[in-house]
Structure 1
Amino acid sequence: MRILTASLILGLAVAAAPASAMASTPPRRDHPAAATVRGPIPGAVPGDRLADRIEDTYPFFSTPADLRANGYVEEEFYLSGTADGWSTTGERVATAVPYTTRVVVRRPASPLRFNGTALVEWQNVTAGYDLDALWNAETLMRAGYAWIGVSAQRVGVDQLRGWSPTRYGSLDVTGGGAYTTDQLSYDIFAQAGAAVRAGGLVGRLRVRTLLAIGASQSAARMTVYYDSVLPQVTPVFEGYGFIVGSAPTRVGPEPVFQVLSETDVRTPVRPADTDRFRRWEVAGGAHSGYAGQVYRRPIQERDLGGAPEYTCDRPPFSRVPMHHVTAAAYQHLERWVRRGTPPPTAEPLRFNADGTKARDALGLALGGIRLSQVSVPRAVNDGDNSGESFCRLFGSHQPFDQATLDRLYPSKLRYVAKVVAADVHNILSGHLLPADALANAREAAAT
Structure 2
Amino acid sequence: MMRDRTASPQNGTQSARSPFFLLAGLALGLSWSTSLLAAPAIDGPIPGSPPGDPLAAKIENTYPFFATHDALTRRGYVEEEFYLSGTATGYSVEGEQLAEDVPYRTRIVVRRPKSPRKFNGTVIMEWQNVTAGYDLDALWHGEQLMRAGFAWVGVSAQRVGVNQLTEWSPTRYGELDVTGGGTYTTDELSYDIFAQAAEAVRQPGDIDPMGGLNVEKVLAVGGSQSAARMTIYYDNILPQVENPVFDGYNFVVGPGPSRAGAEPVFHILSETDVRTPEGRRPDSEVYRRWEVAGAAHSGYQGQAYRAPLSERDLPDGAPEYECVAEPFSRIPLHHVVVAAHDHLVDWIDGETPPSAPYLEFEGTTKVRNELGLAQGGIQLSQLAVPTAINTGDNAGETFCFLFGSHEPLDQAQLKELYRNHGKYVAKVTKAVGSNVSDGYVLPADGLLTIREAAKSDVGKGRRKH
TM-score range, shorter chain: over 0.9
Partner of 2:273: 264
Residue 105, structure 1, aligned to residue 105, structure 2: no
Per-residue deviation, 1:228: 0.6
Q: What is the CA–CA distance in structure 2 between the aligned matches of 1:251 and 1:346, rounded to whole Å?
A: 19
Residues 158 and 190, structure 2, Cα contact 8 Å, conserved in 1 = yes
Q: Decide which of 49, 53, 76 is 1:44's aligned counterpart.
A: 49
Q: Decide which of 385, 393, 406 is 1:384's aligned counterpart.
A: 393
| Partner SS for 2:365 | coil
Partner letter of residue 249 of structure 1? S
Cα distance 1:25–1:266, how it changes in 2: closer, same or farther (>3 A)?
A: farther
Partner letter of residue 286 of structure 1? A
Residues 190 and 236, structure 1, Cα contact 8 Å, conserved in 2 = yes
Partner of 2:178: 173
Per-residue deviation, 1:341: 1.7
> What is the RMSD computed on CA atoms of the aligned residues?
1.6
Partner of 1:135: 140
Per-residue deviation, 1:198: 1.2
Residues 271 and 391, structure 2, Cα contact 8 Å, conserved in 1 = yes
Residues 271 and 291, structure 2, Cα contact 8 Å, conserved in 1 = yes
Note the 1:110-259 alignment, pairs <5 A: 110-199=115-204, 200-233=208-241, 234-259=243-268
Partner of 1:335: 346
Please, which runs of 5 or more residues in structure 2 have no aligned partner?
Answer: 1-26, 457-465
1:190-221 C-alpha deviation (Å, 9 max, x unpaired):
00000011143211110111110000000000
Q: Flag the structure with more relative contact order, 1 or 2, with Cα contacts below 8 A and sequence separation at least 6.
A: 1
Residues 283 and 349, structure 1, Cα contact 8 Å, conserved in 2 = yes
| Partner SS for 1:43 | coil
Q: Decide which of 415, 423, 433 is 2:432's aligned counterpart.
A: 423
Partner of 1:326: 337
| Partner SS for 2:117 | helix
Partner of 1:296: 306
Residues 32 and 97, structure 2, Cα contact 8 Å, conserved in 1 = no
Residues 48 and 56, structure 2, Cα contact 8 Å, conserved in 1 = no
Per-residue deviation, 1:33: 2.4
| Partner SS for 1:111 | coil
Residue 348, structure 1, aligned to residue 358, structure 2: yes
Q: What is the CA–CA distance in structure 1 between the aligned matches of 2:165 and 2:87, rounded to whole Å?
A: 20
Per-residue deviation, 1:231: 0.7
Cα distance 1:76–1:23, how it changes in 2: closer, same or farther (>3 A)?
A: closer
Per-residue deviation, 1:342: 2.0
Partner of 2:292: 282
Q: Decide which of 71, 83, 86 is 1:66's aligned counterpart.
A: 71
Partner letter of residue 227 of structure 1? D
1:277-297 C-alpha deviation (Å, 9 max, x unpaired):
000000000000001110010
Partner letter of residue 143 of structure 1? A
1:21-47 C-alpha deviation (Å, 9 max, x unpaired):
x98999995564200000000111122
Residues 28 and 232, structure 1, Cα contact 8 Å, conserved in 2 = no
Q: What is the CA–CA distance in structure 1 between the aligned matches of 2:308 and 2:88, rounded to whole Å?
A: 35
Partner of 1:310: 321
Please, which runs of 5 or more residues in structure 1 have no aligned partner?
Answer: 1-21
Cα distance 1:255–1:136, how it changes in 2: closer, same or farther (>3 A)?
A: same
TM-score, normalising length: structure 2: 0.89
Partner letter of residue 216 of structure 2? R
Q: What is the CA–CA distance in structure 2 between the aligned matches of 1:145 and 1:31, rounded to whole Å?
A: 31
| Partner SS for 1:112 | coil
Partner letter of residue 222 of structure 1? M
Cα distance 1:392–1:52, how it changes in 2: closer, same or farther (>3 A)?
A: closer
Residues 37 and 87, structure 2, Cα contact 8 Å, conserved in 1 = no
Residues 25 and 231, structure 1, Cα contact 8 Å, conserved in 2 = no
1:155-180 C-alpha deviation (Å, 9 max, x unpaired):
00000000000000000000000000
Residues 32 and 190, structure 1, Cα contact 8 Å, conserved in 2 = no
Per-residue deviation, 1:54: 4.4
Partner letter of residue 282 of structure 1? V
Count of residues paired in the alignment: 423
Partner of 1:75: 80
Q: What is the CA–CA distance in structure 2 between the aligned matches of 1:310 and 1:46, rounded to whole Å?
A: 27
Cα distance 1:277–1:31, how it changes in 2: closer, same or farther (>3 A)?
A: farther
Per-residue deviation, 1:251: 1.0
Q: What is the CA–CA distance in structure 1 between the aligned matches of 2:226 and 2:407, rounded to whole Å?
A: 30
Residues 153 and 182, structure 1, Cα contact 8 Å, conserved in 2 = yes
Cα distance 1:412–1:26, how it changes in 2: closer, same or farther (>3 A)?
A: farther
Residues 30 and 232, structure 1, Cα contact 8 Å, conserved in 2 = no
Cα distance 1:93–1:147, how it changes in 2: closer, same or farther (>3 A)?
A: same
Cα distance 1:255–1:96, how it changes in 2: closer, same or farther (>3 A)?
A: same
1:375-417 C-alpha deviation (Å, 9 max, x unpaired):
0000000100011100000000000010000000001000000
Q: What is the CA–CA distance in structure 2 between the aligned matches of 1:28 and 1:391, rounded to whole Å?
A: 46
